Structure 1
Amino acid sequence: MKILTFIPVLLFTFPLLAQNTGADTAVISRIIREGTDRSGVMQTASYLTDVYGPRLTGSPDYDRAAEWTLNELKRYGLENVKKETFGPFGKGWSLKRFYLHAMEPVSFPVIGVPKAWSPAVKGVQKAEVVWLNVKSREELETYRGKLAGKLVMISDPVELKPGFKPDASRHSDSTLLVLSNADPKGTRNRSTMGQVNPAISVRDKFEFVIAEKALATIEPSRGDDGTVFSMGAYVVQPENVSWDQRIQAYSPGNKTVIPQVVIAAENYNRWVRMIGKGQTIRAEMVLEVSFTEEKDGYNLLAEIPGTDYPEEVVMLGGHFDSWHGGTGATDNASGVAVAMEAMRLLKEAGVRPKRTIRIALWGGEEQGLLGSRGYVKKNLGERLDKAAPWDSIRYQPAGEKFSVYFNMDNGTGKFRGIYMEGNETARPLFRDWLKPFATKGAATLSPLSTGGTDHMAFNAIGLPGFQFIQDPIEYFAKTWHSNMDVYDKLIEDDLKHNSMVMAVFVYQAAMMEGLFPRKPLN
């Protein structure tokens, strides 16, 4: 019944859509029919997560998943399917085996995830667990000569409180209204940083622990209920180093990284309390990893060539890489599967777009948008002086003819609208393009800009790049960069919906009379 009541609304609104572009309403009907009745988005997501697992940039797992993905894109009938490098990346890393178990005075398993690019420990290591309980640099001296070969708990305990609010939520009418009426000069932030203790820094602690030859560091997760958030290993940086000159854990020749493990806050807090009661804790740890040699990072590209203006390009995508604790489901197999499914829907609908429609699945997003920034610099243009006015931008010919990019990277939640990035010229277009999905709750246009993902690489040189408004579900609460970022957290109906919205948006953009309008640069 849902299909029967949905399609008439689509047919009723299509004449309005045709006023803004040369889009064929019959094609849009076929896109939505195929996406509703024969969606392959969950099958794609399952292969990416269950079969190939996490896709850490530079790792063999990334390579295996990439080969499967390229073959799928070819199977869809897409053209110019290829890998494209974005520059040197660094070492690959794979976690082969890990466990951490409390042995004395009581025995229990510890929930944990090593940080990516953490070195291994040799064999089975049994060691004392020590809490580095310091509030200043001066207090570090009380631990001098006491940490060699120890498992060092390097942080304060985490305060855990009952969860009276649900982890998962959807946007309400009121929250969507706030987004739609927001100050266009504002920015929607993805996360916030914790407080910093000026008396002693993370750098101070790691520098001391490494010098003391500790076996490994142990940190508490910011999550609860056994959820462990783990990213890349911490590297002690030289004093006053600029951001773009920082040494990374994956940098070639970097030997300053100590084995690092993040454990469940509940386990960490228990150890803190036990040590506070004078207990001597011993634990057993296995941490086996493998490194691969430095190589170039790469993105995955494929396209449907345009018929009238093939050199003008509409793009869609999301980042292909993930962290390693789970299987990279909501971050970002969901976005990859939606973009791939959108391309499949377009092919099944028999589109003949005026402009080329290109999918890009980015590498290195988790390390700083490396893939998308590399693609933009290599193919489209560059802002020569980031501190200078916008007139320092130099476009390549492809940048002059670039139209628009649409991105997905905010979990599994349903598209409820789109962030306009302060581009008011996009409002009437997006309003019309969302009309087929208004009855499904996707109608909000927010003037806000949103950060933290690959559309920013395009915006940085004045090219239109957009991210959709998504229902939060439990993205930041449970799955983002965590061991619970797994297939079971994906919502099928939401991803089917997103695939259809994405397909219609790129089709509409590809059929416009001209390029997508760019906002004034100032």
Structure 2
Amino acid sequence: MRNHPILLLLCLFVLASGTAQETAAEQQTAALVAQIEKEAVENSQLETLAHQLMDVIGPRLVGTPQMNKAHEWAVATFKEWGIPAENEQWGTWRGWERGICHIDLLEPRVVSLHGRQLAWSPSTPAKGITADLITLPEVADSLAFARWLPEVKGKWVLVSMPEPTGRPDYNWEEWATEASFEKMKSDREAQTKAWRQNLRNTGYSSRSINQALEAAGAAGIVQSRWSGAFGANKIFSANTEEIPVIDLSLEDYGMLYRMAENGDGPRLRVVAESRELGRVPTFNTVATIRGTELPDEYIVLSAHFDSWDGGTGATDNGTGTLTMMEAARILKKVYPNPKRTIIVGLWGSEEQGLNGSRAYVEDHPEVVSGLQALFNQDNGTGRVVNISGQGFLHAYEYLGRWLEAVPDHVTEHIETQFPGNPGRGGSDYASFVAMGAPAFSLSSLSWSYWNYTWHTNLDTYDKIVFDDVRNNAILTAVLAYMASEDPERTSREKAVLSVNPRTGEQREWPEPRSPNREGGQD
């Protein structure tokens, strides 16, 4: 059969038209991505937002007035940008507010100590509690410990192992002889093992022993949970009903412990003016840029809003919050009429078990069923360096396509894992993954996150690396734009999961879990 000239011309015309359309689309994408980057670099709001959230509002422990102030601030900020937002109540929590805290050694010398009351700790009386200090004894069994327990009545009890060194291992490795470093580690391991065995001998765990001491009439609990980094302690909750619990720096705790053990008669005064506020509502802040063509399909920009309150929650998860808010601001300015609806979800009570996001997926099945993609950031201030397909078989196809549009200087650091395994916890994307919805974690470079800032007293504004957060805002905004404009829905087909090397069994997809909607109950 001979080629017909008219048919040939038509074919060439169609090919040319298709090529022209593809070129026009590519040019449009490149132009909008350039606008995103320009806005992120030349008109960044990150430093201003960080100051308002971390310095002025401060830590965002669920159930506190500061958490409520943060929700109100976020709604007002979104509205200033022309983005409708609201606070959606999903439950209630134990209301509590941290107050002034003074910790002073009175004997054998006077010195103000470095520490703080733990979250939800009972208050001291107005004049404080002044009492002697006592350490846990070495006991053979729970009966021996029960016989000793009356000794704590009216005293502050030191419940943590005194650390043999306040220098992180990297500091030892740099300066010590190899023999000295190995000896320190061996001695510390033996001390830790003996301490844990003695605690088991009491019949209690590190969490349950506080209740036993409280029941025996202790005046209060003193602990020190060193993170392994200079000056950093992990700060969590008190786990008592009537007596206060404080955390002291490694240095001050060790000094008190040595004084008590050597019979120096240490005497401690603590004034901690916290307040119980009863049951209070708890929220998610949800902002929405309505889609123009497919409003019932969604892209969600996800970060948890709450924090522990040892510092100001700067890198956990202030920086994730800043990333999502800044990405939304940029998109509203340069891409105000998205094809699909873009939602910003700032979730409450992630730290107590992903409660805010788990409530959202229960309360908004329409978003779960219409989800095109969710992007979550929650592991510190660093630039994103890893994205997993979360077990979705075809994630490589669409995530790969979207990442191609991201500027090279952003993606050059990123490694991808496809199809990956579904997240089972750890952060809020897992709430959506458990529902079979395509949700992805934008995982960041460490910046010593686990030792220095994760749940510590050092998680403050000065630890934010703004260049990296700006990088992440650009990445998030471009991914959201590409997901919104994609002509196809994302596939939810699940991969055959890998074998867990620890158990030898094939992994199964995680099951959805309901939130705790009445948190902080005694």
TM-score (norm 1): 0.80
1:82 aligned residue (79, 83, 86): 86
1:265 aligned residue (250, 264, 274): 250
- Total equivalences in the alignment: 442
Amino acid at match of 1:415: V
Contact 2:96 2:274 in 1 (8 A): yes
Matches for 1:42-81 after TM superposition, within 5 Å: 42-79=47-84, 81=85
1:206 aligned residue (206, 210, 215): 210
Matched, 1:479 2:453: yes
Match of 2:414 in 1: 443
Match of 1:429 in 2: 398
Cα deviation code 1:417-456 (max 9, x no counterpart): 3122122411133233333343343331023555411111
Matches for 1:164-175 after TM superposition, within 5 Å: 165=170
Contact 2:289 2:343 in 1 (8 A): yes
Matched, 1:520 2:520: no
Match of 1:453 in 2: 427
Matches for 1:303-314 after TM superposition, within 5 Å: 303-314=288-299
Matched, 1:124 2:128: yes
Identify the structure with bigger relative contact order (alpha carbons < 8 Å, sequence gap 6+). Answer: 1
Higher Cα Rg, which structure: 2
In 1, Cα distance between equivalents of 2:341 and 2:41 = 25
In 2, Cα distance between equivalents of 1:101 and 1:420 = 52
Match of 1:333 in 2: 318
1:316 aligned residue (276, 281, 301): 301
In 1, Cα distance between equivalents of 2:28 and 2:388 = 23
Matched, 1:38 2:43: yes
Task: Give secondary structure in 2 for the equivalent of 1:145.
Answer: helix
1:228–1:124: structure 2 CA closer, same or farther, 3 Å change rule?
same
Superposed CA RMSD: 2.4
Match of 1:230 in 2: 235
Deviation at 1:16, TM superposition (A): 9.5
Deviation at 1:407, TM superposition (A): 0.7
Matches for 1:339-488 after TM superposition, within 5 Å: 339-380=324-365, 397-435=366-404, 436-440=406-410, 441-446=412-417, 447-450=420-423, 451-488=425-462
Deviates more, 1:266-275 or 1:492-501: 266-275
Deviates more, 1:351-360 or 1:398-407: 398-407
In 2, Cα distance between equivalents of 1:148 and 1:294 = 31
Deviation at 1:330, TM superposition (A): 0.6
Amino acid at match of 1:432: R
Task: Give secondary structure in 1 for the equivalent of 2:409.
Answer: helix
Match of 2:499 in 1: none
Match of 2:100 in 1: 97
In 1, Cα distance between equivalents of 2:196 and 2:297 = 46
In 2, Cα distance between equivalents of 1:297 and 1:271 = 39
1:379–1:204: structure 2 CA closer, same or farther, 3 Å change rule?
closer
1:519–1:442: structure 2 CA closer, same or farther, 3 Å change rule?
farther
1:130–1:166: structure 2 CA closer, same or farther, 3 Å change rule?
closer
Task: Give secondary structure in 1 for the equivalent of 2:35.
Answer: helix
Where is the helix percentage greater, Structure 1 or Structure 2? 2
Deviation at 1:53, TM superposition (A): 0.7
Deviates more, 1:157-166 or 1:334-343: 157-166
Task: Give secondary structure in 1 for the equivalent of 2:385.
Answer: strand
Task: Give secondary structure in 1 for the equivalent of 2:274.
Answer: strand
Contact 2:60 2:66 in 1 (8 A): yes
Amino acid at match of 2:402: W
In 2, Cα distance between equivalents of 1:418 and 1:257 = 45
1:65–1:138: structure 2 CA closer, same or farther, 3 Å change rule?
same
Amino-acid identity (%)? 31
Cα deviation code 1:356-415 (max 9, x no counterpart): 0000101111111110000011112xxxxxxxxxxxxxxxx4432222211111110111
1:354–1:206: structure 2 CA closer, same or farther, 3 Å change rule?
same
Q: Which runs of 5+ in 2 are unaligned?
A: 1-21, 173-194, 496-508, 510-522
1:18–1:467: structure 2 CA closer, same or farther, 3 Å change rule?
farther
Cα deviation code 1:264-321 (max 9, x no counterpart): 1222222222222222210111011112221221100111111111011110120111
Contact 2:389 2:421 in 1 (8 A): yes
Deviates more, 1:499-508 or 1:127-136: 127-136
Q: Which runs of 5+ in 1 are unaligned?
A: 1-14, 168-193, 236-255, 381-396
Deviation at 1:164, TM superposition (A): 5.0
Deviation at 1:86, TM superposition (A): 1.3
In 1, Cα distance between equivalents of 2:242 and 2:474 = 45
In 2, Cα distance between equivalents of 1:16 and 1:288 = 65
Match of 1:298 in 2: 283
Task: Give secondary structure in 2 for the equivalent of 1:128.
Answer: strand
